[in-house]
């Protein structure tokens, strides 16, 4: 995801930076939790839902990628993942989902993510890279407004 957030074409620079910041905060939280507790990270997070207030930022960034892919490429799986990820995490955080529902939603999430990853792996590179001239144009606009 780190490489994706470096190379992804999001023309709105503040949004791009926000998603990168979210990934950074989430990653730092994961590192701190990993070295602070002996339990496996996933188990600790599951047993301590408040940890989602830190590590959840990774999923904010991931949901941003899903949203971008849904918007740019009209992918059904990302249209479903965009609301599903926050719903599962917030449901767990607030304890409103039963274990069975959480497991079912996590299974759906995993299945949709696999579909997304497989489709992304065979997607032609040129449309995925996007029109980089837009970045040049936007940079020139920012430079002109500063001058």
Domain boundaries, the chain: 2-130
Share the mean pLDDT of the chain: 89
Given this model, what pLDDT does residue 105 score? 98
Distance CA 116, CA 121 (A): 9
- Give pLDDT tens digits for 58-114: 999 999 999 999 988 899 999 999 999 999 999 999 999 999 999 999 999 999 999
Record the tokens describing residue 121, joined without a space.
């792996």
Q: What angle do CA 100, 103, 108 make, to 5 degrees?
A: 125
Rg of the chain over all Cα atoms, to the nearest angstrom = 18
Q: What is the model's pTM?
A: 0.82
Longest dimension (CA), the chain: 59
| pLDDT tier, 147 (very low <50, low <70, confident <90, very high otherwise) | low
Q: With left for phi above 0 and alpha for psi between -120 and 50, is residue 7 left, alpha or beta? A: alpha
Give me the residue label for tokens 């579909």. 115
């Amino acid at each position: 995801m780190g490489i994706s957030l470096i190379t992804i074409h999001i023309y709105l620079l503040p949004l791009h930076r926000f998603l990168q910041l979210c990934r950074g905060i989430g990653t730092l939280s994961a590192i701190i939790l990993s070295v602070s507790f002996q339990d496996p990270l996933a188990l600790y997070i599951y047993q301590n839902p408040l940890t989602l207030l830190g590590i959840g930022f990774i999923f904010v960034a991931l949901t941003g990628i899903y949203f971008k892919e849904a918007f740019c490429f009209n992918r059904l799986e990302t249209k479903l993942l965009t609301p599903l990820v926050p719903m599962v995490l917030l449901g767990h955080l607030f304890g409103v989902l039963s274990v069975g529902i959480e497991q079912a939603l996590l299974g759906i999430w995993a299945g949709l993510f696999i579909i997304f990853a497989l489709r992304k792996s065979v997607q032609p590179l040129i449309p995925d890279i996007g029109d980089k001239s837009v970045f040049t144009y936007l940079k020139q606009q920012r430079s002109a407004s500063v001058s």
